[in-house]
Amino acid sequence: MASNPLTQLVFDLFIVSAVLIMAYTMNFYYLAMVSSRRAAAERRESDAEPSVTVHLPIYNEKYVAARLIDAVCGLDYPRERLRVMVLDDSDDDTTGLVASTVERWRKSGTRIEHVRRGTRSGYKAGSLRHAMGTTDSELVAIFDADFVPPPWFLRRAIPQFSRPEIGFVQCRWGHLNEGYSSITRVQAISLDIHFLVEQRAKSDSGLFMNFNGTAGVWRRECIVDAGGWHDATLVEDLDLSYRAQMRGWRCIFLPDVVVNAELPAQMNAVKRQQFRWAKGSIQCAVKLLTGILARRGIPLETKVQAFVQLTRHIVFPLTLVQFLALPILLAANVNLYAIGLPAITIAAYLALGPLAYVLVVQSMYGESWAKKARVLPALFVYSAGMAVTNTVAVVDAIFGKRSEFLRTPKHGISARSDEWRGKEYNLPFTKTTLLEVFFAVYGVMGMFVAIFSSQPVFVPIIGIQTAGFVYVSAYSIAHSRFKGGPAGRAGHEMASRPYRLALAGIVAIIVIGAVASFEGYRTTVYPLDLARGHLSDISRETSHAQVPSIIAMASASLPEGGNPVWIFPTPETDFGLMQEALGQMRLTAESLESVDASSAAYHVGLSSIKHSALEIRENLVNATPYMYVSITNIVLACVWVAGLLVVFTALKRKKSQIGR
């Protein structure tokens, strides 16, 4: 496919990534097909009222803690059979708020405890493990701080435990603030796809299913038998649920039992949550997969689906590999069309992407599917933009980098009129945003490459991912705020001013980088594309008449000399030798003026010119990728990145001055 070793390597990476992404995509559609069968969840009624302890792990949740406690204490369940443990690891004024709320409910007769460990060791897993030491109930329900369980929750979930093999019951997440912004709307449909497709399919098929950390009920015996809560990964819920199922416990997903929760409204909070989920999944893969695959008694399909579930975030780095490789392959004039036809390429992309998702959404939502489907374009852009954050998470997990369990901040957002700006817990953008900015600029240049290489069918494919990086990075910067400064709105404005200045600086750097990249492409790479086009024209000529003028245009498009391959240069990519070959071709073409056009000598001479044109054209194909990684471009790229790093360094210093 590509004679140049570098181009061949890029092409191989592109194809391998495409095959793996296709495999994960087809598995998702398989689960969608299974879930569409809609095996009705068995509705169970029971007069049994087992003892239940509700664990509420909390850390710095002053905007939502009281809402959670009030909802849990309002559950419709016998007071003598219900115990509530508020596991408060907070180190801010959340503790005082929780204490007063707990005391209010205790006076009303509720069995509720305010548990303070005095440490945050093990984070959420450590808190839950500590609580298990004094929990003696038959069942344990768990809710995160941003959830609001309905009063009937236990009445609907507990009857499933009439089957002794059931270890835990997972209920569906609802959304308190789905319509708040485009960010919350895409999160809502993404979570719905997870629950109504993946969780439903696995539950109905008896496959391994993960506990989602909240809005569920466990059999205490199952937690103990599986080894309890571990803090070796960032997803203690996924870890424990898989260990329980490896021990033979069964699980159930209840799609009709919906517990509403607050979706993060700040982009940086969303990215933190996505990072934790992605890294934790790979950590669980490293920890558990060998045991799952080697254990007898686990069906093959269950092993396959467990492998896919635990490793599926590997799709994100594969997506970035494809994104980086595509413009390089287009510039090298590598044919990437499916079966050689552009129409089939774009049709295959649409069929396996947007159109298939429309069918999935239609199956999920029934009559209301059209309204939900309107969010899909934003979902594709959002998912593409999250590739950088999730790739960093995957790389961290693969290389065993330890990181702190960072919770997702909540701000008590339920109505569109609610505001999170100016409140505590807001997060600044991180260095990951720098990578997102880079990929956004790279994507813009990739679209120009697709256009100038006469392969515009790839522009929408590159464009969707580019739009994602722009979307995520722009909101990351725009949503960044510092807490601190004088009280009131004036203090908030003063605290957030550094971010506005940083935004202006980053925009300026991006614009300068984009202009410089476009100008560099126009003056260095595009002329080679023109020369290749002229050489292709020569190969199609049936007469020598126009050949000298075409050779002159090709020669004018190429540098006079030099070799773009600065590491191990070869004669084939030497522009000086190409110019000499073009000069010899022109002399041969001019000599054909005196040769009879019907003679063998004429045809031999013309064939020699065409052969030389194709040879030089192939050399240009090999030389083009190295034009992108010239020493000049590398230096300019370093300067560009250094400019962005200066902005981040200045922000970090300002952050330490303002305080958090």
Residues comprising the chain, all counted: 660
- Rounded to whole angstroms, the Cα distance separating 660 from 626 reads 46
Tokens of 409: 């901040």
Supply the CATH number for residue 533's domain. 1.20.120
φ, ψ for residue 426, nearest 5 deg: -65, 145
Range picked from 106-115, 335-344, 627-636 for highest mean pLDDT? 106-115
Q: Is the pLDDT of residue 491 over 70?
A: no
Last residue of a domain, one of 263, 285, 300: 263
Indicate the pLDDT class of residue 486, thresholds 50, 70 and 90: very low
Tens digits of residue pLDDT in 308-331: 999 999 999 999 999 999 988 887
Tens of pLDDT, residue by residue over 554-582, are 899 998 888 888 777 888 889 999 999 99
- Other Cβ atoms less than 10 A from the Cβ of 342: the count is 14
Q: Check pLDDT > 80 for residue 246.
A: yes
Please give the pLDDT value at position 274. 96
Higher pLDDT, 485 or 654: 654
| pLDDT greater than 80 at residue 160 | yes
CA 596 to chain CA centroid, nearest Å? 66
Kindly state the tokens that stand for 430.
């991180």
Question: 627 pLDDT exceeds 70?
Answer: yes
> Does residue 501 carry a pLDDT above 60?
yes
Q: How far is CA 278 from CA 255, 270, 460, in A?
A: 24, 12, 27
Q: Does residue 618 surpass a pLDDT of 70?
A: yes
Q: Which domain holds residue 616?
A: 524-635
| Residue 447 pLDDT exceeds 80 | yes
Angle at 209 between CA 208 and CA 211, to 5 degrees: 140
How confident is the model over 444-463, as a mean pLDDT?
Answer: 84
Share of the chain above pLDDT 90, in %: 53
Report the percent of the chain where pLDDT is more than 70. Answer: 90
Query: Which residue in this structure is represented by tokens 């999250």?
Result: 386
pLDDT band at 345 (very low <50, low <70, confident <90, very high): low
Judge whether residue 126 has pLDDT over 80.
Answer: yes
Is 58 part of a structural domain of the chain? yes
The pLDDT value given to residue 7: 78
How does pLDDT run across 97-124, given as a tens digit for each residue? 999 999 999 999 999 999 999 899 999 9
CB 253 within 8 A of CB 217: no
Last residue of a domain, one of 216, 240, 263: 263
What's the rounded Cα separation, in Å, for the pair 42 and 296? Answer: 29
Look up the CATH number of the domain holding residue 46.
Answer: 3.90.550.10
What pLDDT is stored for residue 505 in this prediction? 74
pLDDT attached to residue 145: 96
Average pLDDT over residues 378-401: 95
Asked whether residue 461 is assigned to any structural domain, the reply reads no
Distance from the first to the final alpha carbon of the chain: 55
Burial grade of 308 (CB within 10 A; 0-12, 13-18, 19 or more) = middle
- Whole-number pLDDT of residue 330: 85
Tens of pLDDT, residue by residue over 45-98, are 666 799 999 999 999 999 999 999 999 999 999 999 999 999 999 999 999 999
Total of domains in the chain? 2
Window from 317-321, 348-352, 402-406 with minimum mean pLDDT: 348-352
C-alpha pair distances (Å), 247 with each of 20, 90, 221, 222 = 30, 34, 12, 9
**Pick from 126, 64, 54, 58: which is nearest to 91 by CA?**
58
Q: What is residue 519's predicted lDDT score, i.e. its pLDDT?
A: 81
In this structure, is residue 317 part of a structural domain?
A: no
For residue 656, what pLDDT band results from cuts at 50, 70 and 90? low
Domain final position from 263, 297, 318: 263
Chain mean pLDDT for the chain: 87
* pLDDT grade for 205, boundaries at 50, 70 and 90: very high
Residue 282 counted as domain residue? no
How far is Cα of residue 404 from the mean position of the Cα atoms in its chain? 20
Would you say residue 529 lies in a domain? yes
Distance, in Å, from the CA atom of 446 to the CA atom of 427, rounded to the nearest integer, reads: 31
Query: pLDDT confidence of 206, banded at 50, 70, 90?
Result: very high
578/574 Cα distance (integer angstroms): 6
Cite the active site residues: 89, 237
Is the pLDDT confidence value at 498 over 70? no
Q: What pLDDT was estimated at residue 42?
A: 62
DSSP string, 370-437: HHHHTTHHHHHHHHHHTHHHHHHHHHHHHTT------PPP-----STT---TTSTT-----THHHHHH
Residue 197 counted as domain residue: yes
Q: pLDDT of 161-178, one tens digit each?
A: 999 999 999 999 999 999
User: Is 361 within a domain?
Assistant: no
Q: Residue 492's pLDDT band (boundaries 50, 70, 90)?
A: very low
For 244, 521, 526, 545, 631, the CA distances from 564, given in Å and listed in that order, are 58, 14, 14, 33, 9
Could you report the per-residue pLDDT of 353-382, keeping only the tens digit for each? 777 888 889 889 888 898 899 999 999 999
Cα separation, 388 vs 266, in Å, equals 17
Give the confidence band of 212 by pLDDT, cuts at 50, 70, 90: very high
The confidence score (pLDDT) of residue 249 equals: 97
The arithmetic mean of pLDDT across residues 335-363, rounded, is: 70
State residue 331's pLDDT score. Answer: 78
pLDDT of residue 485: 41
- Examine residue 658 and state whether it is found in any structural domain, yes or no: no
Determine the Cα angle at 469 with ends 500 and 630, to 5°. 100
**Among the listed ranges 156-160, 415-419, 471-475, which one has the minimum average pLDDT value?**
415-419
Read off the DSSP letter of residue 455.
-
Which residue stretches of 108-199 are H helix?
123-132, 153-157, 182-193
In Å, the largest CA–CA distance within the chain is 112
Strand partners, 54: 84, 141
Contact (CB, 8 A) for 201 and 31: yes
pLDDT of 494 reads 43
Which residue's entry shows tokens 């957030």?
Answer: 496
